[in-house]
Amino acid sequence: MLYPSPASVSRALYERATQFLPGGNTRTTVYMKPYPIYVARGAGSRIWDVDGDERIDCINNFTAQIHGHAHPVINEAVRKQLELGTCFGLPTEAEIDLAELLCGRVRSVQAMRFTNSGTEAVMMAMKAARAFTGRPKIAKVEGAYHGSYDYAEVSLDPSPANWGADPSSIPYAQGTPQTVLQDVVVLPFNNPEAARRLVLAHRDTLAAIVVDPMPNRAGLVPASAEYIQALRAVADEIGALLIFDEVISFRLGHGGAQPLWGVEADLTTFGKIIGGGFPVGAVGGRRDVMAVFDPSGGKPVLPHGGTFSANPVSMRAGIAALQLLDHAAFTRLAAMGDRLRAGINAAFARHGVEGQAVGMGSLLKVHLTAREVVDYRTALPHPAEAHALATFMLGLLNRGVFAASYGLMALSTPMTEADIDHVIGAADEAIGDVAR
């Protein structure tokens, strides 16, 4: 059935949902106009909606489902745990197993704590940095998304109308306290000199610099090596911590992003793929910093709980998911990503449409512009580009490909070369729609 359709079961569900759920569901990111598509089930690289339409899932729950849907090995691990109980007011061996696995993969992570989401992981990392350094401020990249902790949300969507002003003064949501805005320093992405200057201006009050090395909302272009090195160096110079937000970028390689950029962070945040499709987050890093969480000597510097934190279902699913991700899996995912980017870029050239597919490894983003995308401002679509992107995304959707409305795609291990061919073919025709 073509989307949107007056006869759609999704439309009927949406109408029912709006009585109980503002916007018809629980996540702003999954809202679509005129109605979101409600999913009935998923298997491998495919999802089926409530109208019975099958699509290749190219968003994979916003990058989390790196093994697609209902992976038999993950399902088996979860099933075993279900029989043993799902969560307790005591720790389980499962959290040791996952922590050991992650610490073994990321050299800078010597100890860790689990949370229920990436948002909480970032929140705990920022709090840990403040507790460890005794300083109040956090620096973050303009436009970069790190979840919905107030401090992480500052400067999430400035626009040309206000970005001449200090982006730190721009709240994302109404209700952001003024004190939060005062305690966040906003750095331009991929501009080492400007970032260094801004950090030095807050040298005595900055607890941490948080950076995602390939921030989706700042264009999904990789940070330059010089930029990451400059952040590492200036953090060391002023005694602040460098926090790598790897909630998404951990899917770039066996050890995540840090080996790829040749850097070691003081703290790293995780989420998404490390839960194997179940709710999860984690913060890990230097043993001396992580000691702020340690209650063994009395009241910890930073208390941290969470009723469902480290629940063994998420832990066992995460372990199974990571064990499936050997070096060969990342190589294959990256090769599929390269082929998809090349295929989409060739289609833009063939149709004479201004556009580009950027990203790295299994992560890809389509911009409907020929301008060089280097940061949030150059990535933000102009109105005509936003219209063209909407046409492109609708074209994909109605040719059996589901991706995020803003052009993000994240591949999964059950995808086949034939799936990639299908997505390239659908993109080619969708770009044809834009050209018309």
Q: Which is nearer to ligand PLP, 208 or 424 (CB)?
A: 208
Q: Which of residues 264-283 bind ligand PLP (CB under 6 A)?
A: 271, 281
272 catalytic, yes or no? Answer: yes
Say whether residue 213 binds ligand PLP (CB under 6 A): no
Say whether residue 319 binds ligand PLP (CB under 6 A): no
The nearest distance, CB 108 to ligand PLP, in angstroms, is 17
Q: Which is nearer to ligand PLP, 26 or 416 (CB)?
A: 26
166 catalytic, yes or no? Answer: no
Binding mask 89-118 for ligand PLP (x = CB under 6 A): ----------------------------xx
**Which residue has tokens 């009241």?**
299
Q: Which of residues 9-68 bind ligand PLP (CB under 6 A)?
A: 62
**Which residue has tokens 């809202």?**
31
Give the nearest residue (CB) to ligand PLP: 118
433 catalytic, yes or no? Answer: no
Q: Which is nearer to ligand PLP, 231 or 248 (CB)?
A: 248
Catalytic residue, candidates 245, 266, 375, 428: 245
Q: How many residues does the chain have?
A: 436
Stretch that binds ligand PLP, among 158-166, 177-185, 244-252, 388-396 (CB under 6 A): 244-252
Record the tokens describing residue 185, joined without a space. 């320093």
* Of 319, 297, 278, 187, the residue nearest 240 (C-alpha): 187
Non-local (6+) Cβ contacts of 362 within 8 A are: 66, 251, 252, 333, 334, 336, 337, 410, 411, 412
CA distance 75 to 7: 34
The nearest distance, CB 435 to ligand PLP, in angstroms, is 32
CA distance 8 to 12: 7
CA distance 413 to 322: 12
Contact 137, 207 (CB under 8 A): yes
The correct pick among 145, 151, 270, 402 for binding ligand PLP (CB under 6 A) is 145
Helix (H) or strand (E) holding 48: strand 46-49
Residues touching ligand PLP, count (CB under 6 A)? 14
CA distance 286 to 266: 6
Residues in touch with ligand PLP (CB under 6 A): 62, 117-119, 122, 145-147, 212, 245, 247-248, 271, 281
